[in-house]
Chain A
């Protein structure tokens, strides 16, 4: 790899690049999906390629290829330079990426059991067993169980002298049951919805989440939801479970603090952000109970790594401190525009994509409550669990989310099951109404393996630590 990286950097420099970096990415992934007792998806994929990113005369260019030869390194580097020269045609400010970043290092995901080494037969048997348990429940028309694991070897070199090798492992799993009856469809998922929960761990991740032990409950709940009460319409107190709260953090904080969005460079697609630079350090984002952090060093978090794809060391950054908005997720270029140093949030989907500012592990820091005490201390409200739908405006203000399951809270106790639960609000008002966050014992770093951004679209894997929390005066029940 070193030869190819060096050759691409040399060629880029000879062609006129003031800065160049090259990433080689080798990825191996396997996925097993069992649907209704059939192993419908059993795939093993691998890919290898490299991308060259350059700054020429103050403008960016990038090219990538799957052909791993020195001749191709020359061609791709020259192409990136030509593209950068074309970028200058529309004018605009010249790129400043701040002071040099030089690291020569290696990073490896710590894990106990290599997921690729676990017997395929054992994996399939687990998923079939789980599937069978869900299919036993009447009204279940679709049961799905899956595992996914990947290993990514990244080599990064820059014209500033960095050379970083990373060996990153991820493992994920999920189950879901769908029940249908009389014009109603209900779904339950575990540990999380939208396919699976995932972390930078080995097979121990799947073992810890005990899919088999939870399958009957998941199917029972899906069936029970068919005849549950509809979500009431009105304004009430809401307690969100950790997984739903993780998505709330992802959508209303994580994306809102991406400094590229704030500076307008995602405006035509993902949008901008209400957290404009004039608000930094003086805007009340939430209540005193709200502390949000971006931390790429949390063991096992899906947004955990050694260095980002600009070669910046993984780190922890406060975003909201006792309700006050204090920090962004940054790249070298965007940080320099604020006179800051990058906090290492640039990641690319693959070798043939440029890095963008992506969430690392953006988390709500735990509070003091136990969930049992929090429910006991809530006279009237709704407890909501596991995301079912999510939508938010392009400045990350107005949102509407739905959950798979909800329960009434009456006089400090969980009550009847509620279906089709939705809630909506405006981001600062919603976080401003947060008056309690559960403690560290309830906290999980939830993995979101499907975060889309950019053109061409890139999918990032992000993590979100969250424990259940309570919100007052929330609008619920918005389904027509």
Chain B
């Protein structure tokens, strides 16, 4: 049982009243989270936890201190408030800091589904058992995880900000494995009723069986179809390396100095929208500032980056509502990303490729050159050779080393369908992509 808005508001008011600082912010998280994990077609880990976090940001002049606790007695709260103030007192003046945000109207968005919050271990086990049964029937092995969570966040500050939001998440993935192949399927939703275990199992089993007996293929440059699971990685790294104001201002971003310029193909449009019903919406950031829709790349042209109050203040711009919790030093980041869908059916993408590779999913991707967004990683869970518009053979997994900016300059088709995916930060909604000339730099043994 989570505390709820009234209790969190009372709680925030108590903390603010304890503070003698010139400005004070309190950030409250409360969550109930459970996860059932399975492997070798049975449940091997099954966990649940109830957590709370309180973070206090104290501001004296332009000095800032942040302290946190999960202990909720008055004594502990007074101690955390005092600790934040003590840290602030030892700080140096930060001339770039202007103020904690003033109150702004925050939209209410509905991200709560009671049946998800009430979903219990027996409910999760029933879904997992169905997936494991399907695996046994298909003579493959199932692994995966099924998480359900209910959480609340509240932000208040001494200037009058109070913002509260609650949400539920149901997030499942399964990997089906044979002796020499695997297939993957996943689904993320606010509503646990959207989780269809047998359908997910069937999709992963189909991919697993089709990728059996893989052949080796020489690394090289190939046209590719990146399924939405793989394409989401591109958004993750663009966000992490370049869509935030910090790397932009420090000239470490591919967007730095290039606003208004065409940086990727005209068919690529990317934006962040925390209020969209196509997301798991979140109406405000961790400073309590309402989220604005930010057009990041429009028809290939670099359009803007996201701000919090601190980095916005450095440019005389308002926050776009993308602050991370106080104390984080990465700067603001987008957390509800969209890559605009196209008008192509995936079958038509396949038919258009003379010789290429179908990539189901990427694994262990890491930036090699941040400014050029060159990333290396592996394919995983179903990689196929395409010849004359058809999948002709499963292939062993390949390593790629590829600039994601170059790739977005070579997108030839974009799927109509999109998928909601957990992102590096937050969530994203992405289509599948057909990309010309993707660079595979190595191969592995399976």
Residues in chain A within 8 A of chain B (CB atoms): 31, 33, 35-36, 38-49, 51, 59-67, 79, 82-84, 86-93, 120-121, 124, 128, 141-142, 144, 178, 180, 183-185, 263-269, 271, 274, 352-354, 388-395, 397-398, 400, 402, 420, 422, 424, 426, 455-456, 475, 478-480
Contacts and interface: CB of A to CB of B under 8 A. Distances in A.
Nearest to B131: A90
Interface stretch (B13-21, B104-112, B259-267, B361-369): B361-369
Contacts of A402: 368
A43 B90 CA distance: 12
Interface in B132-182: 132, 141, 143-145, 147, 173-175, 177
What are the nearest 4 A-B pairs in CB distance?
A92-B42, A86-B121, A398-B444, A268-B143
A51 B92 contact: no
A391 B252 CA distance: 22
Interface stretch (B44-52, B207-215, B290-298, B344-352): B44-52
Given A266-B39, A352-B51, A480 B125 contact: no
Contact of B250 (A60, A141, A393): A141
B126 interface: yes
A353 B39 contact: no
B442 A424 contact: yes
Nearest to A178: B252
Interface stretch (B67-75, B384-392, B411-419, B428-436): B67-75
B443 interface: yes
Given A84-B46, A397-B444, A455-B35, A42 B252 contact: no
Given A268-B174, A398-B444, A48 B71 contact: yes
21 contacts: A35-B329, A41-B66, A44-B65, A45-B68, A62-B46, A83-B34, A83-B46, A90-B43, A90-B132, A91-B41, A142-B252, A264-B141, A267-B39, A268-B173, A352-B51, A391-B365, A391-B376, A392-B378, A394-B364, A398-B444, A424-B442
Contacts of A67: 50
Contacts of A426: 444-445
Contacts of A478: 376, 401, 441-442
B121 A389 contact: no
A409 B144 CA distance: 47
Given A59-B43, A86-B43, A267-B40, 20 more contacts: A43-B67, A46-B70, A47-B70, A48-B71, A83-B48, A87-B121, A90-B43, A128-B92, A185-B369, A263-B40, A265-B45, A389-B366, A391-B365, A393-B363, A395-B446, A397-B445, A398-B445, A420-B368, A479-B369, A480-B374
A65 B364 CA distance: 32
A49 B53 CA distance: 12
A480 B363 contact: no
Contact of B68 (A44, A60, A92, A183): A44
Contact of B92 (A91, A124, A268): A124
Given A92-B40, A184-B371, A426-B445, A269 B126 contact: no
Contacts of A128: 92
A42 B86 CA distance: 11
A467 to B, nearest CB: 25
A378 B38 CA distance: 50
